[in-house]
Chain A
Amino acid sequence: MSEVRKPRDPVTGHIKALAKGFKYLIEPNRMTLDYPAETMKLPPNYRGFFTVDDVKCIGCSMCEMVCPPEAITMVPRIVGSGGKTLPAESAPQDQKAAKRTKRPVVNWGKCIFCYFCVDVCPVDAFRPTGVHDVAFYTDREYRPTYEEYLNPPEDPYKSSKKVVSKADKKRGVSYEPAP
């Protein structure tokens, strides 16, 4: 025999809930930001879009190996003057003369911003850009070429009011203009 359920009090719970809702209606305690007009100023290493330093990178492919969703592709490059790399197609006819190397490119559609690649890189070649919210309008924009990847997306909300969050005993969280 199944256990007999005690009937719940059908009245007080409803009244309590309605009273609480009404209290919040007359004394709203807003916690969200007026988003595109105000944006959070985030700490400098907050995980967002990042780019690679073409000169620093040694092409070891550690980042490609560690990336959990396999968002990184290593593209073939050749070393040019001053440590900068050139596209592999521009290699001189004399194949021996070209010093071959590889450079990482991130597919933003796959990247989960875990920053494993940044941590694993032996020469600290990755550099966070401080840009976090970007909307891509076409599928193509998700998959930059290496040259595009060197210039990561710009912050679309540069002109919005920057705020920082602060713990507040009474309200939970409050915002004040960023210093």
Chain B
Amino acid sequence: MISSLRLRAAIVSTALLAGFLLLWHLATLGTGVVADVDPEYARLMGATAVAGKSAMPGPMEVLGKFWWHLSHPFYDNGPNDKGVGIQLAFSLVRVLGGFGLAVAVAIPLGFLIGMSPLMHKALDPFFQVLKPISPLAWMPLALYTIKDSSASAIFVIFICSLWPMLLNTAFGVASVRKEWLNVARTLEVGPLRKALQVILPAAAPTILTGMRISIGIAWLVIVAAEMLVGGTGIGYFVWNEWNNLSITNVMNAILMIGLVGMALDQVLARLVRLVTYPE
């Protein structure tokens, strides 16, 4: 039953995709030769003028370019022409850097808040104010203090991944079942062993779910951040190709951003499943 449902879903997905590609293809087809055009002018303007072709690239064009990007991912012809693989790598390094810093801060701090009702109450007002701030609002301040665009982007990623992890860790730690803590108490388990062998595994699913939310947000934010700071990264690539008026490349970048984001999410989802325990 399950497998047949999965199969039917796959069929519907494929049909939807095929339908979408077909519509796209038809919508961007040329309308035939529009008029007699001066050959000089036609040579200048290309198919857009001669064949009434849409300025919007068709699916074949985009997929062809996609294939080209996949087969030339790491070329480097100077600052404005790098392979999309290089750009994605820049973005990933920034995301993982900021995310890693956030993990290093959020997990210990989350433990502290989760275990101490006092700290929870004392720090809560700060979180309430800091949490709704768009991470990009920090950018000027980061640029001014850090004075390095790449480090500023990492800082922005750090800020935006911090909150979900921090709040989830605190919540996970605070809601560890009382009875498991009582078991640890009656066995006279020391604080470090209690933290590592009871609280951490008990809260791990909640903590990792927070990480999963964080990495999703970080990947959303990095594109915007790189559009702002420029230089390198997939966000910069999108903006640069827009300036080049290469809609084909913009569409390619959008597709890549989606695929990489999905991969990041899948990795974290797998980790969540790994630490989830059935009760």
Chains A and B belong together in one complex: no
A residues contacting B by CB (< 8 A) are: none
B residues contacting A by CB (< 8 A) are: none
